[in-house]
Chain A
Amino acid sequence: MDTSGGGGHKKGPGVKKAKKLSTRVDLTPMVDLGFLLITFFIFTTTMSQPTAMKLFLPKDTDKPDEQNKLKESAALTVMPAKNNQVYYYEGLDPTKIQSSNFKAIRDVILDKKRRTDAKDFMVIIKCTQDATYKNTVDILDEMKIDDIHRFALVDITPDEYKIVQLTEAANGIK
């Protein structure tokens, strides 16, 4: 009895052998894509949140007993001006002006700080009209860096501005 029906197949005639498909998918391209996206997001994300710098303004007052007393010997006036220059003078005489820049002003401030009594020492910041906002923040930052607690942001007087301008002209800064 021939039940096999001819041929080498074990199955019946006309029955094709079903190809066994693997259920495994090659995931390599998917992994590639995944990591590509991760790198993209990491690079485009700005991790740092902006920080803020606190500034406390003194209250304007006309009463002399409410005003801060300032010792002449303990005062240092710094005046940021154009081209990232800083002019400074010690005491209260603007004619003793000296020029400096943002790199060198730290030593000036620290030197003055060392020479004066800590509780009297005060830095007066007078920004000229030509100073940028960056200069203003930089000099306030400098106060923080140098650990100076007494400083004031004061408007520049026209006389001082004139002196700054004259010094600028003498130094050839346009």
Chain B
Amino acid sequence: MAHIHLEDGAFTLQWISIWWVLSIVLIGLCLYWMKKGKGIDNKTITIAAMLTAASFAIFQVNMPLFGGVHMNLTPLIGILGGPAVGGVIVLIVNVLSAAIGHGGWGMIGANVLVNMTEVSAAYGTYKWLGKTKVSTFARAGTAVLIGLFLGNIAMIAIILISAVQGVTQSRVDMLYGLSLLAGVNMGVAVIEAVVTGYVVSYIERVRPDMLRG
């Protein structure tokens, strides 16, 4: 849900390269983890494909709320796929999104890092709450809120560190503006939390094998 909506040229080439390299290193670790861990079976590939399709389809839909917002289901990706598979999914979704003109190509690296924060934080929170016997709906919903909140913080940090070319605004003003933007984003996170909570609860009833625990 947090997504850097800036066009190519907003960041300097140096920062675009740094975020790209970092995201490639992380994706490499995800692939290594997938291979080293349980391996990649057909079920995992099918779930990953479904999550990719769902995330891509919903990510491009601009909803008429707070003037225009969108969801991207990254916490659901984390809960169902885990951080390793999730990392690969968010890379694919970001590349496909850039291909249709939603987000710049140069921003893919930075956006992958933002989305991976959401995926990992949601996965970690969901797993951690599993030890407390909280209901699946509340577990998944809370994981979404925490994941998207941390994703917004990652987005703000990346923009403040990179700085935007051609603007006269100070970093403090930028932090204020981006905090308001993140605040609005969290309104959509509430909707995403309720939707994901119901989806995960439903999956637990009909296909509990799809949930990792």
The yes or no verdict on A and B being binding partners is: no
Q: Which residues of A contact B (CB under 8 A)?
A: none
